[in-house]
């Protein structure tokens, strides 16, 4: 776990108390808002991140809270929708929160910023990977600690150069984040003078990725970059890779690091390299894992829980 990030987040939290409205200061608790997606397209990713944040609040309160006051977590569901996320942010600000944590889709978080920028409310996301959250809006009160798309592709490019890949295929889905990640990957590959010989999209709800992967096979790339974020569609891609006999190395974004792939893509992950920002070998991470398991009936946390905890 990144202790520096956690320390900064807690410092910001404390500062947020000073910035809060007098009505909020008069309360016995420090109100923190969390906007998450409970029913929409980000649900599968948002739930574990939110669980990590909830655990962090519980841990902090058990240690006496912040500035001697307990933290009260107010949660709003934005369904992964930008307009609903902005409404949720407004509701939380009106409720007197000192800080807002966004655990939803990148476009939803970006829309919520329209409120936090106006109200100067400290706001962060521990898991969104879209660089646009900090490049398109000049919001000095916003922080982003998740694995940025630009960082992911830079790491994968270093690996690609080491392997001397000259031509690659780029495969994604048609989700907003999948398309955004694809743009980051494509731009970086072109800048690195690595030729993209096939660029394919597997739409949400597809039942097979064979047509797309047949085109990839015909292009004969040195490696296949996977920019998609939708788990079912990524599983289809991996299945088609095996069924069509493609032997090229697979390079994926951090979404491939979540444990669900061990179930939905069982036996299909050999040869897949992906990026992650969660290192179980670090002492701080091992301690987090041990403590989380004790508090959650033996359930072992993974990267998304850790991102929420750091937030």
- The answer on 170 and 112 residing in a single domain is no
At 27, the pLDDT band (50, 70, 90 cuts) reads: low
- The pLDDT tens digits of the residues spanning 153-192 come to 999 999 999 999 999 999 999 988 899 889 989 999 999 9
Task: Please check whether residues 234 and 155 belong to one and the same domain.
Answer: yes
- For the chain, what is the domain count? 2
Range in 9-23, 26-40, 88-102, 263-277 with the lowest mean pLDDT: 9-23
HSE-up of 48 (CA within 13 Å, CB side)?
A: 17
With cut-offs at 50, 70 and 90, classify the pLDDT of residue 11: very low
Tell me, yes or no, whether 289 and 237 share the same domain.
Answer: no
Check whether residue 67 and residue 189 sit in a common domain.
Answer: no
176 & 215 share domain? yes
- 129 and 225 part of one domain: no
pLDDT band at 20 (very low <50, low <70, confident <90, very high): very low
Same domain, 225 and 134: no
Residue 245 in this model has a pLDDT that exceeds 60: yes
Using the predicted structure, report yes or no on whether residue 247 has a pLDDT greater than 70: yes
- Using CA atoms, how far apart are residues 250 and 217, in angstroms rounded to an integer? 13
Query: Is the pLDDT confidence value at 117 over 80?
Result: yes
The mean-pLDDT minimum among 20-29, 132-141, 258-267 falls in 20-29
Higher pLDDT, 136 or 172: 172
* CATH code at position 89: 3.40.50.2300
Report helix angle 210-219 to 231-243, nearest 10: 50
In whole angstroms, give the CA distance from residue 298 to residue 240: 35
Q: Does residue 220 share a domain with residue 98?
A: no
- 204-236 burial by CB neighbour count: b if 16+ within 10 A, else e? eebeebbebbeebbebebbbbbbbbbbbebbbb
Confidence band (pLDDT; 50, 70, 90) for 9? very low
Structure tokens at 130: 């879209």
Those residues with Cβ within 8 angstroms of residue 88's Cβ, 6 or more apart along the chain or in another chain: 35, 76, 77, 78, 112
Q: Which domain holds residue 124?
A: 3-146+279-310
Structure confidence at residue 211 (pLDDT): 98
Which percentage of the chain shows pLDDT scores above 90?
73
Residues 51 and 92 reside in one and the same domain: yes
In terms of domains, do 264 and 283 share one?
Answer: no
DSSP-derived secondary structure for 144-200: E-S--HHHHHHHHHHHHHHTT--EEEEEEESSHHHHHHHHHHHHHHHHTT-EEEEEE
Of the pLDDT bands very low, low, confident and very high (cuts 50, 70, 90), residue 25 is very low
Same domain, 229 and 166: yes
Are 47 and 134 contained in the same domain?
yes
Q: Give the pLDDT confidence of 45-102 residue by residue, as tens digits.
A: 899 999 999 999 999 999 999 999 999 999 999 999 999 999 999 999 999 999 999 9
Residue 217 has pLDDT above 60, yes or no: yes
């Amino acid at each position: 776990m990144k202790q520096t990030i956690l320390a900064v987040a807690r410092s910001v939290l404390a500062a947020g108390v000073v910035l809060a409205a007098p009505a909020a200061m008069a309360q016995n608790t420090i109100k923190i808002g969390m906007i998450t997606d409970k029913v929409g397209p980000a649900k599968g990713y948002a739930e574990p991140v939110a669980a990590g944040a909830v655990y962090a609040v519980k841990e902090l309160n058990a240690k006496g809270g912040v500035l001697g006051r307990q933290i009260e977590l107010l949660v709003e569901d934005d369904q992964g929708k930008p307009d609903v996320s902005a409404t949720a942010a407004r509701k939380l600000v009106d409720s007197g929160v000192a800080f807002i944590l966004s655990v939803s889709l990148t476009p939803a978080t970006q829309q919520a910023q329209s409120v936090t920028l106006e109200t100067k409310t400290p706001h962060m996301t521990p898991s969104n990977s879209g660089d646009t959250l900090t490049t398109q809006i000049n919001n000095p009160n916003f922080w982003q600690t998740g694995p940025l798309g630009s960082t992911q592709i830079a790491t994968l490019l270093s690996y690609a150069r080491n392997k001397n890949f000259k031509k690659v295929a780029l495969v994604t889905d048609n989700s907003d984040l999948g398309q955004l990640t694809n743009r980051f990957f494509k731009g970086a590959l072109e800048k690195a003078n690595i030729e993209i010989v096939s660029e394919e999209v597997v739409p949400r709800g597809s039942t097979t990725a064979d047509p797309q992967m047949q085109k990839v096979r015909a292009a004969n790339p040195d490696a296949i970059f996977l920019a998609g974020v939708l788990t079912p569609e990524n599983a289809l891609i991996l299945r088609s890779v095996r069924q069509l006999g493609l032997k090229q190395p697979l390079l994926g974004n951090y979404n491939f690091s979540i444990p669900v792939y061990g179930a939905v893509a069982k036996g299909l992950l050999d040869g897949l390299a992906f990026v992650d920002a969660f290192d179980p070998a670090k002492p701080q991470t091992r301690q987090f894992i041990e403590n989380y398991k004790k508090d959650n009936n033996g359930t072992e946390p993974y990267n998304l829980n850790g991102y929420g905890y750091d937030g």
